[in-house]
Structure 1
Amino acid sequence: MKRLLRSLLAAAPALSLSLALALAVSPARADEPSDSPKTLRYAFRVAETSFDPSQINDIYSRIVTAHIFEALYTYDHLARPAKFKPLTAEAMPQHSDDWRTWTMRVRPGIYFADDPAFKGKRRELVAEDYVYAIKRFADPALKSPVWGYVDSFKLLGLAEQRQRSLDQKKPFDYEAPVEGLRALDRYTLQIKLAEARPRFIEFLAASDLLGGFAREVAEAYGDKISEHPVGTGPFKLATWRRASFIALERNPDYRERYYDAEPAADDAEGQALLARFKGRRIPMIDRVEISIIEENQPRWLAFLNGQHNFIEQVPPEYSGLAMPNGHLAPNLAKQGVRGWRQVRADQAMTFFNLEDPVVGGYTPEKVALRRAIGLGMDVAREVRLVHKGQGVLAQAPISPNTKSYDPAFKSSMGDYDPARANALLDLYGYVDRDGDGWRDLPDGSPLELQWSIESDQRGRQMSEQYQRDMKALKIKVNFKPGKWPELLKAARSGSFQIWHVGNVSASPDSQGALQRYDGSQIGGQNMARFKRPEFDALYRRLSELPDGPEREATFVEAKRQAAAWMPYRIRYHSMVTDLAQREVLGYRRPLFWLDWWQYADVEGARPQ
């Protein structure tokens, strides 16, 4: 008990003594018996929204669905750089020379988890389950926020079938054949595209999005389908208390699948993991328990006191305590804790509603306002004070660790220059016309920004930072606090003016981050509601071009346009710190994919 108290005080000096004492004298967790379920316990800092893949575009929900559903392909968990391999497919896909026809064969003998919807019969995964999964994104009644992303691949006839449903005001016809989406036989899936898509396998490898989906389940549960995800994956949903607690259990019907990977020869960590786990049947753990803890301090304490045996993304204010100067703190190392730190393939961004009458639009004065706000944001100070140095300043909407990321690239996206921002505002008529000390719009009406912000401690810190930045520009700001799911819902519907969000790349190709600028994805990935024909043309060109110099030059032009129009102010890329207690083995942060629980093991319990 004394050792626990010393650890708490050493690892978290910012905590009050009374709080540390209260934690230290709370009943210690008894060692688990050897036959108790192997359980991974950790927390999400943001609540989930749904477990229906057609309805989600937030990372926390998709972490869960990625472990329940299975795509045709997946990523080698240990390979760096990323490498694709079959998951439910028998082999890698066949494609035509023009990259427009893709053919895949589902491996026979894969079954869905048992569910009442199947009426006591084992339900085998077949090609038609992927046809149905993709059609669900096109169903207008489901209003999928990722339909724009799916449609960007231009499956022949799918958008036309969706439009017929809209025009005729009739239910989407799942029975109607679609030229570009067919099950040729029980196990063979063929997809035809209107345009070349050399990297289409990235879509086919998104288990969080494109897992095989049984029609019987959707029909059995109707509008409650988000509460009943049934897939072929290694885990199944056991308990769900919305925005509070999620528990998943090992799928007892999961096929025989064994740990295997191909880490690079010079990858010491990967080779060590392969040597330890190769040949083990997966998943190796029995249960995963996820608490929703929005505030940083209790999430950190839950790990320190043993309630949780893993913490993903240690809160910034504690990352220096956990891994000072990039090395695990001695007191934690003594307890057997392991730590990892790396730059994440993500972007933290502030975005504007391009349909809003104040900050939206494409006329010179509207663009000038967004660019001035971007120039006035002291992101380096935000990273230093709010995020405790755990970030790398961004210069473009391209994520680290993806193919076209260039750490040497520099643009005005990354500039902090309040003098230039004020001059730009003066030039375009945003001046103080009534003498109240705040700038007005060019027509003389008051300029007041409506900035959405999370109602937690981190949100309060960020609002203080943005208030300071905008005050230096003499721009009045009103903050609109709310819970993250509520703010996300408002952003999807266009009911906001300014907000911020993070984007994590889901594939090694850099184009994924540019979905947010694609005009066809408004209401989904494109939450800024940005639409410019010249950028849409660039996005289509990036989709069609094979990798090479011409495509890289197109990326440079896309970066230039992104900075010029400024629908998003890309602020920084996260530096993330993950910790695991001694009993959690095998963890390695995925680069782009979201499923990893099946590759981890939990042995015994941490000594108290």
Structure 2
Amino acid sequence: MGWIRTLVRATSLALSLMPAAQSAEAPASVPPDAKVVRFAFPAAETGFDPARISDTYSNQVVAHILEAPLTYDYLARPTELRTLTAAAPPEHSADFTVWTVRIRPGIYFADDPAFKGQKRELTAADYAYAIKRYYDPRWKSPVYSQYREYHVLGLEELRQKALDSRHPFNYDTPVAGLQTPDRYTLRVTLGRPNPLFDLVMANTNSFGAMAHEVVEAYGQDVDAHPVGTGPFRLAQWRRSSLIVLERNPGYRDDFYDAHPAADDAAGQALLARFKGRKLPMIDRLEFAIIEQPQPTWLSFLAKDFDLVMTPLDYAPIAVPGGHLAPNLTKQGIQLERVLRSDQTYTYFNMNDPVVGGYTAEKIALRRAISLAYDNMAEINRVRRGLGIPAKTMLVPNTYGYDPKQNFGFSEYDPAKARALLDLYGYVDKDGDGWRDQPDGKPLVIRFTTESDESSRQFNELWGKYMKAVGLHVEFLPGQWPDNFKLAQAGNVQMWMLGQTATSPDGSDYLHEAFGPEAGANNLSFFKLPAYDDLVRRIDQMPPGPERDALITQAQSLLAVYMPIKPHVHRVRLYLSQPWLLGYRTHPFALDFGRFVDVDLQKKSAALH
């Protein structure tokens, strides 16, 4: 994303690259014996109200502050659910339509003026209230369309009543789908089976507890006042620059425990070192937002950051030939190479008169564009080898993902692309060197993009490969938030994006083309009844061979109509300083600050 502007706590050289007016003021003084972890985000946050965010970086901050009933075992691979605020795993009816979870008594929100000096205990009603907020039109939640597909009984009708009457959403109206039979019990009733609804209960962006007093006290400014029951609270926020979390002094007794696989030597070592330690083990967690790769890299080398996701431009320097560079090894730098549960992709607006539509010639154009672009060249040239080609719509570490499957999304065959274009009438009719539409109108592909260096490199690739088959591409640069608004409104022809999984349910990626979520998850506005019916059936089935077979059918339809071209599953290189202890990237959980420690003696020796 090309909309991050500032750098905090960087080296003097890095700071010299910034406009003086944007240099962050020093945070409040920190005791010399405080354990502080500093991490660089490559993109800006949007806020900290879970009802109004959908980006990874905001969610990572919120995951340290708010808590869902469930979470993931930090070290278990494959991933395993565990309780967080729940007293026990949730129970469900035989048909998976009724889910009941009991919240553990004695858990309290962090102190905040909204509570007027009173300790505020977490109750089941706080989860019910948080869920209702996704339906409240006031908040315009990007998560609403996902919740709508869960079919929580009564909430859609309550939302529609607020819209029709133009009156505020009535949180006090009882609904069949959200019941709190006692102070600590939450019962969620769904209009259709959902065997994986417990995964929703492990995501703070979908199930993070909110206190109504906080929302009422801060109103529209609640995104700057996240108040939760988690191990940290927000201490300082300079938008798009610096986010500081400090230990929540009222956090309950919580102790390190995990269940790594028996053959996971690194995980077993972490468990042996930390088991039984009170959490969190650090006092402060700072996130600096940096757009450019050079300041990020220089800051890490200057030991201003404890943890960094290595910028692509510096991956060959940091990890030449797949091995940590000798100079970094000598310093005790630690490397973690992670195949992310994510995907980059380009989508076509199916309502666009040029690239959209369901007729044979429109399908041929999209498939030709896909065949003409080389995903492996993207990996090797732009991503410095850090990725694997996406051959399916699903992503690694999720149910239904099969690396042996290949739906042709990464097939590169310019000869086949030219043949398709010729066969369906996309030929140069006016002799200007570019192909025209079958009716003779000029064929111009308008590709929405950003203005940062990475986007320019991707644009060069797209331009090169499209020119090779005679297709004329115009790139329309803009700021990422503005592009996103255009995309939601259906005013983008083509755009390249990335998405990271938030749970092991791989079928979530099928919702990127699910008709009822057009303009939300489904930015392609793809609408095909046969496909939508498959997705609905998949959503109501537990993991297993029968579900996987339907997932294969759904992906086959996407391969035929090509509303989306998957590109790459990214590989990330995480580097950490020798004094940062216990860090391990989790495929879905984002609250790493809960589990890490700092060796102050080792840090002092390295800095002096």
TM range (shorter): over 0.9
Q: Aligned partner of 2:40: which letter?
A: A
1:89 corresponds to: 86
Query: Superposition RMSD on alpha carbons, in Å?
Result: 1.9
Counterpart for residue 150 of structure 1: 147
1:499 aligns with 2:491: no
Matches within 5 A, 1:548-587: 548-587=544-583
Q: Residues 203-249 of structure 1, C-alpha deviation per residue, up to 9 Å, x if partnerless?
A: 01102331101111111111111111111111111222222221111
AA aligned opposite 2:201: L
* Pairwise CA distance, 1:286: 1.2
Letter in 2 for 1:80: R
| Alignment match of 2:505 (pick from 505, 509, 527) | 509
Q: Which residue of 2 aligns with 1:290?
A: 287
Shift in Å, 1:419: 1.3
> Aligned in 2, Cα 1:490/1:253: closer, same or farther, shift over 3 Å?
farther
- What is the SS of the residue equivalent to 2:426? coil
Amino acid paired to 2:464: R
1:253 aligned partner: 250
Gap regions ≥5 residues in structure 1: 1-17, 24-31
Aligned counterpart, 1:299: 296
Q: Which residue does 2:585 correspond to in 1?
A: 589
1:355 aligned partner = 351
1:529 aligns to 2:525 (yes or no):
yes
Aligned equivalent of 1:381, options 377, 382, 385: 377
Select the residue among 83, 101, 104 that pairs with 2:101.
Answer: 104
Residue matched to 1:366: 362
Mapping of residues 56-455 of structure 1, within 5 Å = 56-312=53-309, 314-455=310-451
Aligned length: 582
Report the alpha carbon displacement of residue 135 of structure 1 after superposing the two structures with TM: 0.6
User: What is the letter of the counterpart of residue 607 of structure 2?
Assistant: P
Note if contact 1:453-1:479 (Cα within 8 Å) is conserved in structure 2: yes
| C-alpha contact (below 8 Å) 2:86/2:103 kept by paired residues | yes
CA distance in 1, matches of 2:519, 2:596: 36
Out of 453-462 and 33-42, give the one that drifted further.
33-42
- The alpha-carbon deviation at position 352 of structure 1 amounts to 1.7
5+ unaligned residues in a row in structure 2: which ranges?
Answer: 1-11, 18-28
Corresponding letter in the other structure for 1:607: L
Measure, in 2, the Cα distance between the counterparts of 1:218 and 1:396: 41
| Superposed CA offset, 1:309-363 (max 9, x none) | 1102x12232232223332222111111100112111111111222222222222
Q: Conserved in 1, the CA contact under 8 Å of 2:51 and 2:205?
A: no
Cα distance between partner residues in 1 of 2:242 and 2:30: 24
2:48–2:58 Cα contact (<8 Å) kept: yes
Question: Residues 440 and 339 of structure 1: is their aligned pair in 2 closer, same or farther, counting only changes over 3 Å?
Answer: same
Distance across 2 between alignment mates of 1:484 and 1:281 = 40
What is the Cα deviation at residue 33 of structure 1?
A: 9.5
Q: List per-residue Cα deviations over 1:496-539 (Å, max 9, x = no partner).
A: 22111111111122112222122222232222222221111111
CA contact (8 A) 1:66 1:209 kept: no
Whether the aligned pair in 2 keeps the contact of 1:67 and 1:208 (CA below 8 Å) is no
Residue in structure 1 matched with residue 21 of structure 2 by the alignment? none
Q: SS state of the match for residue 536, structure 1?
A: helix
Contact 1:63 1:208 in 2 (8 A): no
Verify the 8 A CA contact 1:342 1:575 in the aligned structure 2. Answer: yes
Q: Are 2:535 and 1:539 aligned?
A: yes
Work out which of the residue numbers 443, 457, 463 in structure 2 matches 1:461: 457
Contact 2:50/2:204 (8 A) holds in 1:
no
How far the C-alpha of 1:251 sits from its partner, in A, is 1.4
Deviation at 1:122, TM superposition (A): 1.2
Distance 2:30 2:179 in 1: 51
Is this contact kept in 2: 1:146–1:521, CA < 8 A? Answer: no
Q: Percent identity?
A: 51
Contact 1:180–1:191, Cα closer than 8 Å, also in 2: yes
How many angstroms apart in 2 are the aligned matches of 1:478 and 1:292?
30
CA distance in 2, matches of 1:33, 1:247: 12
Shift of 1:34: 7.8
Match for 2:167: what amino acid? K
Give 1:37's match in structure 2, choosing from 34, 59, 62: 34
* Cα offset, 1:19, TM superposition: 7.0
Give 1:488's aligned amino acid.
Answer: F
Are the counterparts in 1 of residues 87 and 102 from structure 2 also a CA contact under 8 Å?
yes
Amino acid at match of 2:504: P
SS in 2 for 1:276: helix
Deviation at 1:411, TM superposition (A): 1.9
Deviation at 1:570, TM superposition (A): 0.3
In 2, are the aligned partners of 1:117 and 1:216 still within 8 Å (CA)?
yes
Q: In structure 2, what is the Cα distance between the partners aligned to 1:235 and 1:489?
A: 32
Between the aligned partners of 1:567 and 1:41, the Cα distance in structure 2 is: 40
Q: Report the secondary structure of 2:246's partner residue.
A: strand
Name the SS of the counterpart of 1:573 in structure 2: strand
Residues 374 and 410, structure 2, Cα contact 8 Å, conserved in 1: no
Whole-Å Cα distance in 2 between the matches of residues 46 and 403 of structure 1? 29
Instruction: Output the TM-score relative to the length of structure 2.
Output: 0.92
Counterpart residue type for residue 424 of structure 1? L
Question: What TM-score does the superposition give when structure 1 sets the normalisation length?
Answer: 0.92
How far is the alpha carbon of 1:67 from its aligned partner? 1.1
Q: What is the 5 A alignment of 1:12-31?
A: none
Cα distance in structure 2, aligned partners of 1:588 and 1:537: 39
